[in-house]
A and B are shown apart, each in its own frame.
Chain A
């Protein structure tokens, strides 16, 4: 649920801001890496998250719609509870490595205060009946000019993304360990 709170908190704060200049890039790239250890075999974990067309395991997601399956340049539109959307495109997928990478092609900074966002999620076996998920992201802040307001700063971007990753990973742990 933390992810949802982060999202809705941002939306409220950002709705008050004037329209922003659109730029695809900034100078200071941020990175986030969150991990979770799950008491379940990697294959089971991958079976839950390995379909790019279904991110229903992430709290706050209403539905996922897309085209192209798990092929290169497959797309998905994530609709969040409340109606906001995030468009994403797949750029690397390996069932063998239990990993996929995607980027955001369209999101309002009021929904998620980032630009030029890319991400990779990977499942790694960690012994018998155990596995680790790493979810990592690289992105720029929401405000693409000098001197950002605090709501669109580097820190705000990192906080929002970490919050979503944490919420997703903690929820997966709970769900997958409950169905052992």
Chain B
């Protein structure tokens, strides 16, 4: 009977579960888990215990794996996204925060917050293959889609490090606003945007020539940036808002009230929806890019930071 029940269950689940809607994986730092949201039904569909105060996340290019940093546990969890299971834990010799996966699917990069290192990690072998010195308190990490450059936000040095991915050496240092945290690549414009936590602005850097080309005022305590349809969306933690910036003019066009202490933010693959993790109020908001309004509020675990790329395409 058990076997029959299992088969029936599996069939029933198979009919509704995978392959239909995109999902959000939010590392919930205070709750010590990762919440999985079905973004079509807007329901919490799984909670994966990870421990160690998780904060950063990167999705593998094929969306089969999520890489989650546990800041206090000092490890990177490799999560099988379909199975909702941790398949590997990779110990990091420092507090890991920011994490990014390369577009080729070869390496994962992790920022060591206190020892000022960027670690190049082979996620299959589960080991660190190279270590690079960057600036103080490296936080956000982003890669260009051609896999050539890696950018780190060196928070305490008010700078970005631009790193050649192939040789894993630092090419340039670019001074930005005060305490840059999240960084996001805009490949068509050869730009990287940094959210400057303490100067309440967004720095705009040309990563080809290493020049700061603009600074845009946003709300109080900006943390991270998402891009969609020639717009940048910046989470402002103290303000509880998302600033919307026109990337053609670099002018702010709207401020959208969201939950309390918004942090992680990412655009859906089709560029139609922005998802925001609200750390204090434990919910993910959906913002419709066309109308620039909040269209959904989805409860998750305690303290979602979702710092990095946390959306998974299941199609």
Contacts and interface: CB of A to CB of B under 8 A. Distances in A.
B179 A29 contact: no
B114 A101 contact: no
Contacts of B303: 29, 31
Contacts of A30: 30
Contacts of B74: 146
A25 B198 CA distance: 11
A145 interface: yes
Contacts of B238: 91-92, 101, 103, 118
Contacts of A101: 238
Contacts, number: 51
Contacts of B280: 31, 136, 138
A23 interface: yes
A24 interface: yes
B97 interface: yes
B297 interface: no
Contacts of A103: 238
Interface in B66-119: 71-72, 74, 94-95, 97, 113-114
B156 interface: yes
A146 B55 contact: no
Interface in B244-265: 261
Contacts of B55: 27-28
Interface string B296-313: 000000010100000000
Contact of B29 (A23, A28, A91, A136): A28
Contact of B114 (A24, A29, A138, A146): A146
A57 B179 CA distance: 35
A49 B172 CA distance: 50
A27 B113 contact: yes
Contact of A29 (B29, B94, B198): B29
A136 B260 CA distance: 11
A43 to B, nearest CB: 24
Contacts of B113: 26-27
Contacts of A91: 220, 238
Given A27-B71, A146-B74, 17 more contacts: A23-B156, A24-B179, A27-B53, A27-B55, A27-B72, A28-B29, A28-B53, A28-B55, A91-B238, A92-B239, A101-B238, A118-B221, A138-B261, A138-B279, A138-B280, A146-B114, A154-B72
25 contacts: A23-B156, A24-B156, A25-B155, A26-B113, A27-B53, A27-B71, A27-B72, A28-B29, A28-B53, A28-B55, A28-B71, A29-B29, A29-B303, A31-B30, A31-B279, A31-B280, A31-B303, A91-B220, A92-B220, A92-B238, A92-B239, A103-B238, A136-B280, A138-B280, A154-B72
Interface of B: 29-30, 53, 55, 71-72, 74, 94-95, 97, 113-114, 137, 155-156, 179, 197-198, 220-221, 238-239, 261, 279-280, 303, 305
Interface of A: 23-31, 91-92, 101, 103, 118, 136, 138, 145-146, 154
Q: Which 3 A-B pairs have the closest CB atoms?
A: A27-B71, A28-B53, A27-B95
